[in-house]
């Protein structure tokens, strides 16, 4: 068996030359086709004490191009993990992960000790100016067409924690993109590019001869044919020894409640010690463009063979003991995948295929390499079959059809996803719908194809991108939805255009014509057209467009209970669901919510929610209409909303005749809002401009002057507030910020407030210090008199965060808007000075100003290293806050309280930060004097305040992928 591959290789070369000749003579498009050739010899030794590789590499580079080469671009991709300024690190940040950016030296990786030589002389190496993982090797003498050059170099490599595709997790190793490698030179020129997480590979075809030295008790899974007969025999029989092996792991497994809970120390203690002896494993492989290997002391191995029409293939799967339940059928999945793709596209040309289960530092994915794939994560059953099949399928669409994945990702990912779905349909009768976005919703309301629904939703709001684009230009969501999903739907449309039989033979022809070569999109098009004798121009052009692949259908109106995501391309749903609300006056409100919100978003949206108030026995409610215009750079929304609810009542202390009196508010708010996006869709920054008019009709108490028969009645007052808001927000994963200017104009005043928020990350994750700065200025539009000051006191700039009464536009939710006692009275909102303490029962709240006011608020997690709460086994999200502020009066009258006011204490947020409770501990004497004089008992509880922020339940806050 050990020699099968040599036969295979010869056979392959024979077929290759046959096809080469065939296409030279028969195919116009390949008439001038050429490609470079690279042969690798690598000796590599794993040092599992410091997680490093020591290696020596010898490359023979053959120049088949018609050009004389003076240099060769080389990829040193392990250097992508060297610091936080690499293209890789920048991209992770842009995609919302700051783990690598804040990782320590220990978690990072690099390649060094390089000494590139030709003919035993060190050659000149020029560092690429932008990327530390790209270099240019200057050839001492020009490399003529059809000439070859031998290049050697030693290298040492520190493996990073596996945060992207390779590295190590404890003493398990994933050696991928691990050796110095020439960039591709083809008819379009050189293709040097940095390593990226989002964006794959493009490499020259050739051969590999690799010696891997590891401590003896490691099991290695690698690309290619293992030449050590004894080791190969051992791998083939490990499966039948599984029960024996498993017995060895019983103790290990018993200690594994959940692998994720393992502490590093525990894991290493449990891991068998590395044997002091080493072994060297020899692998060879021909007609491929990459080589990857994986090593673990704990691999369980399954082995079987797949019989294809021309040869037999050794199939292996490697996994760790805790994956036994999920992976016990894994080699079967590998076999089925090889059979399916061989039937659909073309026969698998190699004699070996493997799937390896591997650890990562948090992410979950599958990744393809020639003859071997790495599967990470915790999928099982059809899910695992799906991902193994996808990755094995890449042997065809990437491995054998060696497209430029970085520039034309759909050619491997889109096409491969199409075949993966076909495989699932054939084997299981259904494809799995990833319910990530819609988890927990009843099945009969879910979309048939969730990814398609998300794709169409992005297209509708003009946030989609063309299929044919370089990988790095996609937003993270579009990389998934456009490259994989739309790419696969595109191929499905080609299948529909040609019919199944013709489509299959076209794909076979494409495979035969382009295997072991570098086809470009136009080569694919030419191949399909020449086989089918049909033009695919119309469909091909859709690769460059952002529009839907599907013609819009005329939609029918349909009533549905709750909501519905099914067939939203056919129906405009009007959804009816029960609604509930509450406040201190209306008590519980029950009613209906009727709306037409759906995905893809409508241009015209409405919602109406009549609510019956059980407290006041009246009909309240909310209604909203909006019309939206989505364009690439902006989202323009015209809207009007209306609300009616109760916001105050007489209490026992107020003498009234007859029934208790309730005050209501009616509010109508016309608005025009435009959100402006950066030209680059990947940008996390956006601008908002909004103009609103708050048309308020508020009830007020009227007290009679009759002291014998005191009567309280009410009357309604109209107030208009005009508001202009300008804002910029950047939700980037480090140092996100948010700034806005809000100008409110009433009958007698203008009030301008500028708020700036900036978040200082402490490290990876979401811990950090939030800084908020507020500066406000108040102007009277009437002569500044005592009367006018009194009349407009409600609109003053506040040091203390406003209560419900001061929320004069009724923009925030308040449980008890006008309460002066009870827990409801302790609610505040984030605005102005945002102090957590106040003097609400005084005529003028301390710090309030009708001139100017400034405040700085700091809040943040207690840094992990000094946090005493770390002794608890669960995370307590306790934060500290400090507020400091001043206003105009403090600088004019030299008040006894001093120029600055302050407070500080603890805050705790719950329900995704919807509710935050503040416990002030230190504060200015004006506040402590107030608490002492007003509250005889329970003084501490009167200082506690809380805020409610319902914005966190907005769609785009719940799911950040919704790009609003
Ligand atoms: Zn893929």
pLDDT of residue 706: 72
Mean pLDDT on 794-798: 94
Percent of the chain with pLDDT over 70: 88
- Strand extents, DSSP E, 202-299: 205-215, 219-222, 225-226, 278-288, 293-296
Q: How close is the Cα of 603 to the center of ligand 1, in Å?
A: 35
pLDDT band at 964 (very low <50, low <70, confident <90, very high): very low
Strand duo 219-222 + 293-296: pairing = antiparallel
Q: How close is the Cα of 373 to the center of ligand 1, in Å?
A: 10
Mean pLDDT on 654-659: 58
Mean pLDDT on 697-705: 86
Q: Which residue has the tokens 């794993």?
A: 46
Q: How close is the Cα of 179 to the center of ligand 1, in Å?
A: 22
Q: What is the pLDDT of residues 88-110, one digit of tens each?
A: 999 999 998 999 999 999 999 99
Q: How close is the Cα of 372 to the center of ligand 1, in Å?
A: 13
Which of 9-13, 40-44, 711-715, 933-937 shows the lowest mean pLDDT across its residues?
9-13
Q: How close is the Cα of 688 to the center of ligand 1, in Å?
A: 37
Q: What is the pLDDT of residues 511-535, one digit of tens each?
A: 999 999 999 999 999 999 999 999 9
Mean predicted lDDT score pLDDT of the chain: 89
Q: How close is the Cα of 35 to the center of ligand 1, in Å?
A: 24
Q: How close is the Cα of 417 to the center of ligand 1, in Å?
A: 7
Q: Is the pLDDT of residue 654 over 80?
A: no
Q: How close is the Cα of 420 to the center of ligand 1, in Å?
A: 10
Q: Is the pLDDT of residue 18 over 90?
A: no
Q: What is the pLDDT of residues 283-328, one digit of tens each?
A: 999 999 999 999 998 888 999 999 999 999 999 999 987 788 889 8
- Strand extents, DSSP E, 616-767: 618-630, 634-649, 662-677, 685-703, 712-730, 737-745, 749-761
Q: How close is the Cα of 480 to the center of ligand 1, in Å?
A: 10
Which of 220-224, 583-587, 869-873, 877-881 shows the lowest mean pLDDT across its residues?
869-873
pLDDT of residue 446: 83
Q: How close is the Cα of 82 to the center of ligand 1, in Å?
A: 26
Top-confidence range, 10-19, 445-454, 530-539: 530-539
Q: How close is the Cα of 391 to the center of ligand 1, in Å?
A: 6
Q: How close is the Cα of 396 to the center of ligand 1, in Å?
A: 11
Q: How close is the Cα of 369 to the center of ligand 1, in Å?
A: 11
Q: How close is the Cα of 320 to the center of ligand 1, in Å?
A: 23
Q: How close is the Cα of 54 to the center of ligand 1, in Å?
A: 30
Tokens of 562: 């709750």
Cα distance from N-terminal residue to C-terminal residue, the chain: 59
Percent of the chain with pLDDT over 90: 70
pLDDT of residue 267: 62
pLDDT band at 272 (very low <50, low <70, confident <90, very high): confident
Instruction: Give me the residues near ligand 1 (ion), CB cutoff below 5 Å.
Output: 413
Q: How close is the Cα of 226 to the center of ligand 1, in Å?
A: 26
- Strand extents, DSSP E, 203-274: 205-215, 219-222, 225-226
Q: How close is the Cα of 395 to the center of ligand 1, in Å?
A: 10
Q: How close is the Cα of 402 to the center of ligand 1, in Å?
A: 13
Q: How close is the Cα of 546 to the center of ligand 1, in Å?
A: 22
Q: Is the pLDDT of residue 21 over 60?
A: no
Q: What is the CA radius of gyration of the chain?
A: 34
Three-state secondary structure readout of 400-427: HECCCCCCCHHHCHHHHHHHHHHHHHHH
Q: How close is the Cα of 471 to the center of ligand 1, in Å?
A: 13
Q: In 3-state terms, the chain is what percent helix, strand and coil (to 5)? A: 25, 35, 40
Q: What is the DSSP letter of 919?
A: E
Q: How close is the Cα of 121 to the center of ligand 1, in Å?
A: 41
Q: How close is the Cα of 145 to the center of ligand 1, in Å?
A: 35
Please report the sign of the dihedral spanned by the C-alpha atoms of residue 168, residue 169, residue 170, residue 171: negative
Tokens of 751: 């009030």
Nearest to 519 by CA among 151, 35, 12, 4: 35
Q: What is the pLDDT of residues 165-180, one digit of tens each?
A: 999 988 899 999 999 9
């Amino acid at each position: 068996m050990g020699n099968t591959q040599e036969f295979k290789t010869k056979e392959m070369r024979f077929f290759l030359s046959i096809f080469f000749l065939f296409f030279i003579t028969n195919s116009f498009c390949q008439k001038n086709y050429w490609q470079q050739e690279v042969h690798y010899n690598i000796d590599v030794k794993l040092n599992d004490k410091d997680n490093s590789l020591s290696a020596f590499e010898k490359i023979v580079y053959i120049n088949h191009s018609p050009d004389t080469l003076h240099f060769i671009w080389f990829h040193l991709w392990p250097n992508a993990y060297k610091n936080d300024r690499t293209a890789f690190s920048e991209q992770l940040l842009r995609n919302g992960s700051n783990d690598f950016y804040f990782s320590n030296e220990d978690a990072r990786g690099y390649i060094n000790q390089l000494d590139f030589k030709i003919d035993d002389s060190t050659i000149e190496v020029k560092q690429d100016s932008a990327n530390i993982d790209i270099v240019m090797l200057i050839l001492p003498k020009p490399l003529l067409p059809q000439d070859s050059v031998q290049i050697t170099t030693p290298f040492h490599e520190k493996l990073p924690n596996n945060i992207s595709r390779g590295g190590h997790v404890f003493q398990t190793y994933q050696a991928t993109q691990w050796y110095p490698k020439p960039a591709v030179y083809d008819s379009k020129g050189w293709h040097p590019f940095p390593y990226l997480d989002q964006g794959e590979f493009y490499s020259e075809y050739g051969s590999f001869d690799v010696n891997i030295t590891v401590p003896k008790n490691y099991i290695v899974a690698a690309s290619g044919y293992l030449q050590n007969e004894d080791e190969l025999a051992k791998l083939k029989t490990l499966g039948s020894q599984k029960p024996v092996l498993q017995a060895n792991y019983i103790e290990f497994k018993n200690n594994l409640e959940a692998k994720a809970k393992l502490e590093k120390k525990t894991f290493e203690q449990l891991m068998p010690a590395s044997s002091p002896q080493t072994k060297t494993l020899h692998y060879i492989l021909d007609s491929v463009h990459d080589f990857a290997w994986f090593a673990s002391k704990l691999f369980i191995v399954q082995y079987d063979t797949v019989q294809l029409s021309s040869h037999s293939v050794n199939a292996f799967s490697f996994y760790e003991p805790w994956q036994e339940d999920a992976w016990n059928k894994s080699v079967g999945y590998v076999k089925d995948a090889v059979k399916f793709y061989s039937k659909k596209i073309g026969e698998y040309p190699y004699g070996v295929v493997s799937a390896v289960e591997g650890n990562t530092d948090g992410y979950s994915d599958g990744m393809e390499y020639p003859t071997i794939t790495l599967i990470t994560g915790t999928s099982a059953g059809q899910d695992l079959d799906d991902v193994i099949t996808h990755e094995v399928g890449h042997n065809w669409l990437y491995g054998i059809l060696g497209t430029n994945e970085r520039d034309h990702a759909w050619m491997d990912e889109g096409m491969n996803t199409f075949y993966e779905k076909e495989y699932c349909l054939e084997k299981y009768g259904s494809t799995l719908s990833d319910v990530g976005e819609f988890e927990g919703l009843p099945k009969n309301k879910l979309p048939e194809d969730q990814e398609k629904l998300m794709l169409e939703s992005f297209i509708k709001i003009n946030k989609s991108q063309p299929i044919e684009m370089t990988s790095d230009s996609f937003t993270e969501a579009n990389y998934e939805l456009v490259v994989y999903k739309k790419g696969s739907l595109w191929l499905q449309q080609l299948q529909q255009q040609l019919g199944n039989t013709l489509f299959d033979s076209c794909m076979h022809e494409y495979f035969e014509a382009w295997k072991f070569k570098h086809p470009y999109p136009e080569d694919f098009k030419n191949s399909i057209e020449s086989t089918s004798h049909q033009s695919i121009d119309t469909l091909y052009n859709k690769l460059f467009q952002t529009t839907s692949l599907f013609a819009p259908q005329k939609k029918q109106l349909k009533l549905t209970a709750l909501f519905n995501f099914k067939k939203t391309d056919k129906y405009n749903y009007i959804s009816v669901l029960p609604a509930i609300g509450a406040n201190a006056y209306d008590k519980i409100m029950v009613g209906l919510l009727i709306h037409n919100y759906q995905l893809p978003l409508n241009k015209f949206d409405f919602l109406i929610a009549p609510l019956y108030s059980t407290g006041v026995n009246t009909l309240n409610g909310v209604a909203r209409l909006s019309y939206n215009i989505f364009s690439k750079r902006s989202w323009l929304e015209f809207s009007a909303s209306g609300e009616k609810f109760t916001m105050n009542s007489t209490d026992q202390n107020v003498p009234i005749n007859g029934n208790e009196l309730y005050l209501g508010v009616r509010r109508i708010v016309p608005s025009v809002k435009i959100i402006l996006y950066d030209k680059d869709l990947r940008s996390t920054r956006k601008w908002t401009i909004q103009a609103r008019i708050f048309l308020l009709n508020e009830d007020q108490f009227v007290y009679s002057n009759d002291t014998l028969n005191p009567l309280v009645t009410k009357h309604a007052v109209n107030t208009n507030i005009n508001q202009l808001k300008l804002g910029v927000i950047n939700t980037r994963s480090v140092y996100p910020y948010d700034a806005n200017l809000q100008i409110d104009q009433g009958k007698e005043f203008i009030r301008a407030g500028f708020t700036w928020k900036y978040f200082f990350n402490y490290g990876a994750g979401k811990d950090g210090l939030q800084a908020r700065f507020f500066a406000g200025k108040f102007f009277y539009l009437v002569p500044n008199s005592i009367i006018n000051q009194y009349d407009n006191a409600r609109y003053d700039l506040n040091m203390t965060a406003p209560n419900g009464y001061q929320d004069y536009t009724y923009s925030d939710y308040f449980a008890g808007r006008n309460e002066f006692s009870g827990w409801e009275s302790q609610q505040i909102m984030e605005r102005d000075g945002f102090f957590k303490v106040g003097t609400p029962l005084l005529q003028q709240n301390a710090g309030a100003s009708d001139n100017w006011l400034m405040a700085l608020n700091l809040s943040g997690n207690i840094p992990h290293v000094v946090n005493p709460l770390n002794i608890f086994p669960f995370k307590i999200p306790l934060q500290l806050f400090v507020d400091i502020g001043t206003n105009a009066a403090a600088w004019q009258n030299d008040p006894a309280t001093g120029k600055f006011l302050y407070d500080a204490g603890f805050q705790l947020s719950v329900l995704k930060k919807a509710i935050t409770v503040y416990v002030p501990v230190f504060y200015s004497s004006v506040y402590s004097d107030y608490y002492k004089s007003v509250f005889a008992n329970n003084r501490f509880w009167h200082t506690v305040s809380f805020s409610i922020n319902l914005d966190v339940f907005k769609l785009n806050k719940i799911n950040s992928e919704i790009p609003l």
